[in-house]
Structure 1
């Protein structure tokens, strides 16, 4: 039996990899992509999603535009470091043929709310950017908070952040939204830097995609090589690029890939530690734990599955 999935993406190189991973997973049915901001503006991310879905042979998957900035901000500008890591267009400055269709008229938030109402336990939502769309869906419908199954890429519990000593980039874009999600949603799995920086892709891996000889394989290899090269500057000690967003999709498929720590979480929303993801001291003794945090990962098995699943999409 397949599980329905919605990807909430700020596309982004690793978002593109997450999209390919989901499409190559026989356990999943991708029923829609919702767009958010972060690595790029929401309009660019949505355009990337549409183009990538065409490239990967799945033009039937609908794309919905989400909120353009955090609720407590008047706008959003892409950070310089985001452009350096992902390229000005979000996909390594690789040119993709523009899609002939546009996003759906329905908003991302409405689609999220309606999908949880319709599919319930058969649906998992994987946000790989700021939690803005998710928080808006929670505020729009109490049923969403009760019934949504969320596996997010974001946060850092046992390691430093990547935009400050405390904060991971996705959480840092809208800490209030992430805090609301952790406090009110009943089922959140956090796949953060604790595990994603242990999963690495190298030039040797992308060379295997090039050997497939398809346009999709060549384009995704070019996109990912840009990302790997950026990591040579930002984190040369790793020896490859972190597979942040694809790992969240991997956990949505098979949570045995990671070791999960049950803990009620919160996010610091102001002060020096703004953006920090940490256990909520006021809910420590509550028997019900509404979040689980990935603190260990079978990196070798995940990488093998990633190469197989993405390879399946690129070979067609």
Structure 2
């Protein structure tokens, strides 16, 4: 069965390709390499013993997307990761985020709904909840005005998919609202390798630890949390990748109850920025150079998941601890810089 993975050379996408190939699926990766490297293909192949098909395409180009689906007319499902993803950058460059995240989604769906039957997994985010009223966050929590253009594109993306599913019974879709992925594959053949300055906390920590960055800025220590720093739900990327495969199989095997469903994907535990720093110091044996600076626009105070629905309905549960995920991230950083 052939599965298209957009953004498949990226951090989460590449790990999901590995899990798909390990389950016997034939994978076609689409990526424009704007925030990824073609060298990731070699890592995927080294882990699985199979090289996925790779198409270098910018999904903002409508004609290119149509031609892609003509070349691969036997695609049974799509896992859609392709999107710009940094909260801070989205505040500075909103038009880039609206064009890239919404435009590419629309073009992929326009091609997909022409098929007799299709399954679609959307890479959504806990940012759709904004600053939730209560923790942990359930799927029934109200969707609040997003704190950033990035969050808005995820909210819009879900609305687009929901609207299309109402009029396209041939399309079966699941949105996975996940929290903060981190870590690397245990083989350390693939991991998080951002282009330029990292926008996520963990790669900035590991790059600081290895000496590439002079120090880490902690954006605020006056939040109403236990230690004053923001709280997030950090999930090992391999656990997250496996959730995508399980969700896809739910659609392919017709086990979904509706043709559009939503699931939170996280560990169910919140960790503060300082707790993540302490985790790095434990697994690396190094003291991290960091300083407290002003709050960053667009950041919510805390967000961690209620994973009951994913655990019970999908039969999926995160397995790795924060320290295990951090250890794999540190091992990956050391390998990349060796």
TM-score by length of 2: 0.46
Larger Rg: 2
TM-score by length of 1: 0.49
